[in-house]
Amino acid sequence: MQHGNYADEPNKKINWHIIRIIWPYLMEYRNRVLLALGCLILAKLGNVIGPFILKYIVDALDAEKTQLIVAPVALVMAYGLARFANVLFGELRDTIFGRVTEGAMRKIGIKVFRHLHHLDLDFHLNRQTGGLSRDIERGTTGISFLMRFFVFNIVPTFIEIFMVVGILFYNYGWGFALITLTAVVAYVWFSIAATEWRTKFVREANIADSASNNRAVDSLLNFETVKYFTNEEFEARRYDHELAKWESARRKNRLSLFSLNGGQALIISAAMTAMMWLATSRVAAGTMNLGDFVLINAFMIQLFLPLNFLGFVYREIKGSMANIEKMLQLLDITNSVDECAEAKMLAPPIWDIEFSDVSFSYRPDRIILKNVSLTIAAGQKVAVVGASGAGKSTLIKLLFRFYDLDRGSITIGGTDISHVTKNSLRQAIGIVPQDTVLFNDSVFENVRYGHPEADDTEVYNAICLAHLDNFISQLPEGHQTLVGERGLKLSGGEKQRVAIARTILKRSPVLVFDEATSSLDSKSEKAILTALREVAEGHTSLVIAHRLSTIIDADKIVVLDHGRIVEQGSHEALLERRGHYADLWFAQQKEQSQ
């Protein structure tokens, strides 16, 4: 299964692949990118002009011959302007480019979200929500960072460095240029080497971060269970255990950052000292005047500051790449249940369903269904009964094509379900699942979820049919009452009725009820069963039930035992056989009379 290696270390090779993925998003906003680049050039120009103006100011002040105060004033104004231009165009650049990064973040975010929802049950049963959301968050932030800094930092900083080196060489000979170049090379080499060495600490910290988030989310989702077992302290300890790992990973991270920054500072300081020494000795020797000294100093600061920043950017880019890769790995996970290329839409009306010789196992070492053959004729109601764990719900998951079969086939309306699109197949089947989980929205919207385009009247009708109206009228806020996360503010039976109303609203030709009324008292159950009978009229339906009294009117009853069909027939026929079903029936009858 592909998702197994989702947590693996991202490999280094696919960095270009990331650039390739980001490129189209940049191109989409071509004009904006160009405009932002224009601002960047203007900002840099202001940056390079500044030191020259400074030199002339100093020279003007220094030369005794200048009596006019005008020249320095004009120069001072120009200097201020150059600085302002530098900052202003820098800000403009960021503002203009913001749209590009946000647009890309949105597009990639929705792409990942879509992809996750297209992945099948198997992925979602194995995922960890907390870590997953963290990975996506880090990934999209990484994209924004990468775009901004790659375009506006790495390339321009290098251009600036070469410009300054050129100016120094042209004006003052090879001495300064050589020191600068050596420092830049040493700095870049050291930064890359040290960052590579640090990567494992960064990754460790990220993994610890996701793990602790997983722990927190999982624990908070299960708050009810935590309280029932008064395990608050236990949960806190487990979370703290993860946090401790995170703390220690961050510590290593920080210490390695310290060595990186320390090394960088050493290189820069050495270079600055060397340049200062050279400049001082030349001024002393009279081959350079004070203005040149100031110019060199200004360039030095201007050069080494962004260089210092470059170290940070490189580190962050590496981190971003790792984060993006982690997110993109999600996109690489493929569905284990594939749609074939020539899959067609399942067209209504859909009639019969046939399981023929179906064998299935979730894992190779344990077979769940063995040679199950079962026909549900058009408009018929077929019930499946059997012990817990016999594989009843599994039959439904297979019908929905959440998993591929090991052997045999399932056909619906005469077409193999593997030859139709999963969407059209799933639209054709309405289900009331065994456990209903609701969205944290109003009761009304939760019902409408069965058919989002339905108008209010249709939703009200479904609510009435599912006998929810009585319950809703008791609520202070009526059908606008929020149901809480996962629907936990409703009782089990209420949730079941919401699920039934949803399914009624969906109006699919095939209906499946997986213990749809198991949480209801017998009076409500009776009322709903009557309603369901009306709804199911003319539909092909599959019913799973523990309480046999609810399915005696089924056209056929199938008894499943350890994944095999052991008996099938009508209620009367099965009673006469005096087999499994009859035993179950009499046992339940006896229980009831007691």
Binding status of residue 392 toward ligand ATP by CB under 6 A: yes
Q: What is the nearest approach in angstroms of ligand ATP to the Cβ of residue 394?
A: 3
Residues 32 and 39: their CA atoms lie apart, in Å, by 11
Q: Which residues pair with 385 in a beta bridge?
A: 559
Query: In sequence order, what are the beta bridge partners of 579?
Result: none
Q: Which of 231, 393, 461, 524 lies at the binding interface for ligand ATP (CB under 6 A)? A: 393
In three-state secondary structure terms, 446 is helix
Q: Applying CB under 6 A, which of residues 389, 478, 484, 492 lies at the interface with ligand ATP?
A: 389
**Which run of H or E residues covers position 354?**
strand 353-360
Least distance from C-beta 344 to ligand ATP, angstroms?
29
User: Which region, judged by CB under 6 A, interacts with ligand ATP, from 36-44, 266-274, 329-337, 384-392?
Assistant: 384-392
By the rule CB under 6 A, 358 interacts with ligand ATP: no
Q: State the nearest-atom distance from the C-beta of 116 to ligand ATP, in Å.
A: 18
Element (H, E) at 452: none
* Paired tokens of 471: 């319950």
Is position 435 an interface residue for ligand ATP (rule: CB under 6 A)? no
Give the shortest CB-229-to-ligand ATP separation in angstroms.
23
Query: What separation in angstroms does the CA of 257 have from each of 205, 252, 269, 344?
Result: 13, 8, 18, 56
* Contact set for Mg ion, span 362-401 (CB under 5 A): 393
Site for Mg ion in 421-460 (CB under 5 A): 434
Question: Given candidates 210, 212, 320, 394, which one binds ligand ATP under the rule CB under 6 A?
Answer: 394
Q: Using the rule CB under 6 A, is 365 a contact of ligand ATP?
A: no
Q: Could you give the strand order of the β-sheet that contains 564-569, starting from the edge strand earlier in sequence?
A: 429-432, 510-514, 540-544, 381-386, 556-561, 564-569
| Burial (CB count within 10 angstroms: exposed 0-12, middle 13-18, buried 19+), residue 4 | exposed
**Which of 194/368 has CB closer to ligand ATP?**
368
Q: Give the phi and the psi of residue 542 in degrees, each rounded to 5.
A: -125, 125
**Element holding 383 (H helix, E strand):** strand 381-386
Nearer to ligand ATP, 61 or 337 (CB): 337
Give the angle subtended at the CA of 142 by the CAs of 141 and 147, to the nearest 5°.
105
Q: Does 368 bind ligand ATP (CB under 6 A)?
A: yes
- Count CB atoms within 10 A of the CB of residue 450: 22
Could you tell me where the DSSP H helices lie in 421-547?
422-428, 443-448, 456-465, 469-474, 492-506, 522-536
Q: Is 315 one of the binding residues for ligand ATP (CB under 6 A)?
A: no
- Taking the least distance from each CB to Mg ion, the nearer of 107 and 562 is 562
Task: Tell which positions 227-286 bind ligand ATP, by CB under 6 A.
Answer: none
In this chain, which of 16, 27, 64, 125 binds ligand ATP, going by CB under 6 A? 125
Q: Which is nearer to ligand ATP, 245 or 580 (CB)?
A: 580
Q: How far is the CB of 392 from ligand ATP (least distance, A)?
A: 3
Instruction: Decide: is 434 part of the binding site for ligand ATP (CB under 6 A).
Output: yes
> CA-to-CA distance for 287 and 271, rounded, in angstroms?
21
Residue number, 294 or 399, with CB nearest to ligand ATP: 399
Question: According to the binding rule CB under 6 A, does residue 401 interact with ligand ATP?
Answer: no
> Interface residues with ligand ATP (CB under 6 A)?
125, 362-363, 368, 388-394, 434
Q: What residues make contact with Mg ion under the rule CB under 5 A? A: 393, 434
